[in-house]
Amino acid sequence: MRASVIILLVVATVFAVIGLVLIAASTVPQTKRTSFDLPVGNYYTSIRFDVLTGGTITVTYQASSGLIGQSVMTESEFTAFRSGGTVSALYDETGSSGSFTVTLPAGGGYFVVSTHGAGYENVEQTGIHTTTVQGISPPPFIGAVISFVVGIVLVAIGLWLRTKPPRARLPSYSPYAFGPGVSPPGASMGPSQVPAGGPPFGVAPAGYGTVLVTLENPFAVDANVQLFVNGSLVTSLTVPAGQTGQSTLHPALLNPYGTWVRVEAVTADGRRASQDVTATTNVAVPVALRIQ
């Protein structure tokens, strides 16, 4: 067996193992522990989860002061809520702390939304969430499909190379066998150039999303803020004291229909604010961060 065939089959096996690991990872419950901050006024925060199949979502929350509203919405319900339309949700609850579990009827995007409780619109409220979603997570599942496809392609190339007949070798000629000034047969032709075969390793981005970041600086001094996407520094900006700044980010997406992205703002003195969103190529996703 040719060495190139063995290498291709070994690499294909590695991709198959990676695919199996990602399949297993896609079924592991997604758990996020996040904080929320509701300034005075008509504000809300949201956390998005995506599943390929139905499942359940369990939320445990604790507010710092007063009552807060907790809702679980589908993507269409959240779109109507954000545009100011008729508000409906899979589940609604109001309290200062608690825990609840909601059944997700099908695959898609779901949002956990926090709002001021009735009568607490003029109170700044903060708190924490611990949210667990049970269902097939899209990113690792899509990664598994890509790994399996790459492995199948490599196996197909390896089998083709194995059955391909070897190239016939030209006979060797001594330059002296034909006399001075006489070239051997085929001497006028240069060596054959064979292009390197096989698909490139790695996966290129399927597209780029748009994330609209609004940064609020409640302090009396200007803040120099660096913006990170999935841990990589993207840009920096200065937010004047007591004002807001804006920036537009374009993260690379593995899946153009929805890729998890973490946006994080870090000030020069180490203060941080972050939010997880799902970015797509077609919709600009707003993110509101408040420097603490």
Residue 197 has a pLDDT of 38
Torsion angle, CA of 19/20/23/28, rounded to 10 degrees? -130
Instruction: Please say if the pLDDT value at position 147 is more than 90.
Output: no
Which two three-digit tokens encode residue 278?
């799902």
Residue 223 has a pLDDT of 87
Query: Half-sphere exposure of 10 toward its Cβ, with a 13 Å CA cutoff?
Result: 7
Q: In the chain, pLDDT over 70 holds for what percent of residues?
A: 85
SS (H, E, C) 116-184: ECCCCCCCCEEEEEEEEEECCCHHHHHHHHHHHHHHHHHHHHHHHHHHCCCCCCCCCCCCCCCCCCCCC
Kindly list the domain boundaries of the chain, sorted by start residue.
3-25+140-163, 205-292
Those residues with Cβ within 8 angstroms of residue 59's Cβ, 6 or more apart along the chain or in another chain:
70, 72, 99, 100, 101, 102, 112, 129, 130, 131
Instruction: Please say if the pLDDT value at position 191 is more than 70.
Output: no
Quote the CA–CA distance of 42 and 102 in Å, as a whole number: 26
Residue 173 has a pLDDT of 46
pLDDT digits 0-9 by tens, 32-67: 899 989 999 989 999 999 999 889 999 999 998 899
Mean pLDDT of 245-272: 88
pTM of the predicted structure, to 2 decimals: 0.47
Report the CATH fold assignment for 205-292: Immunoglobulin-like (2.60.40)
Mean pLDDT of 118-142: 90
pLDDT top residue among 220 and 276: 276
Quote the CA–CA distance of 274 and 45 in Å, as a whole number: 12
Mean pLDDT of 128-154: 89
Average per-residue pLDDT for the chain = 83
